[in-house]
Structure 1
Amino acid sequence: MKYRQLTKEQFENLHEEFAQFLATQSIDVKEWNQIKKDKPQVAEDEMNVFSDVVWDDVLTKTKYVEHFSKSSVNLFKFEESAIFRIAIKVNWDINLLEQKGFEWLMKNPMDNSVEIFKGSKEYNLERNTEIFDLIEKGSTISKGEIFEYFSKLIGA
């Protein structure tokens, strides 16, 4: 398995897609129920393959992720051969996880208490694997508005 199996909730949300996936392998509902009952490992393998297909699709389309903590923000942009990062640290008692703290940062990005760093690196692993790793560590997929805002601000 390349990534991790989708959660039960994710499978439920993708039940139609999973049914189509099984259909491409000539497995109908009746046969699927039989496989789950008689060959749980085969069912598990099918779920793992489907999970990898879904993750690969999502990650290939992902261009930005972001990770917020109480006093810092890490913004990532994924190009074909490199990851671009903007790291923001606020050096006073503020909570960026709360709306009020986030709004303060967006209105005061050049305040003396705000440090902004930028950098880039080539992928150590496959692009999608590196994005997945960041997601597993708590980052969330975004549309990139915050990254682009700070990128323009600092001339990245």
Structure 2
Amino acid sequence: MKYRQLTKEQFESLHEEFALFLATQSIDVKEWNQLKKEKPQVAEDEMNVFSDVVWDDVLTKTNYLEHFSKQSVNLFKCDSTEIHRIFVKINKDINLLEQEGFEWLLSNPTDDAVEYFNGTKKYTSERNLEIFDLIEKGSAIAKGELFEYFNRLISK
């Protein structure tokens, strides 16, 4: 398995796609129920293959990630060959995990308490695996507005 198996909730939300996937494997509902009972490892393998297909599709389409902690934000832009990172650190008693703290940052991006670091690195392994690793460590897929906002701000 390349990534990790989807959660029960993720499988439930993708039940139609999973049914189509099983159909491409020539497995109908009756056979699937039989597989789960009589050959649970084969059923598990099918779920793993489907999970990898879904993850690969999602990760290939992922261009931005965000990871918030109480006093810092990591923003990532995931290009095809390299990843760009903007690290925003708050040296003040502000909690970025709360709406009020986040709004303070957006209203005061040039405050002396705000530090910025940025860099770029080439992927050391497969792009999607590195993005997956960041997600597993707490990053969330994002639309990129924050990355682009802070990138414009620090590029001036």
> Structure 1 length as normaliser, TM-score?
0.99
Q: Which residue of 1 aligns with 2:155?
A: 155
Distance apart, 1:46 and its partner CA? 0.2
Q: Which residue of 2 aligns with 1:25?
A: 25
Q: Which residue of 2 aligns with 1:143?
A: 143
Q: Secondary structure at the match of 1:124?
A: coil
Mapped to 1, the partners of 2:149 and 2:2 lie a distance apart of: 33
- Computed over aligned residues only, the root mean square deviation of the Cα atoms, in angstroms, reads 0.7
| Amino acid in structure 1 at the alignment position of 2:16 | E
Superposed CA deviations along residues 47-103 of structure 1, whole A, max 9, x for unmatched, are 000000000000000000000000000000000110000000000111000000000
| Amino acid in structure 1 at the alignment position of 2:86 | I
| Amino acid in structure 2 at the alignment position of 1:16 | E
Q: Secondary structure at the match of 2:9?
A: helix
Mapped to 1, the partners of 2:39 and 2:92 lie a distance apart of: 57
What pairs with 1:5-154 in structure 2 (closer than 5 Å)? 5-154=5-154
Superposed CA deviations along residues 7-54 of structure 1, whole A, max 9, x for unmatched, are 000000000000000000110000000000000000000000000000
Q: Which runs of 5+ in 2 are unaligned?
A: none
Identity, % of aligned positions: 76
Superposed CA deviations along residues 105-139 of structure 1, whole A, max 9, x for unmatched, are 01111100000011000001100000000000000
Structure 1 runs, 4 residues or longer, greater than 3 Å off: none
| Amino acid in structure 1 at the alignment position of 2:9 | E
Mapped to 1, the partners of 2:22 and 2:155 lie a distance apart of: 48
| Amino acid in structure 2 at the alignment position of 1:40 | P
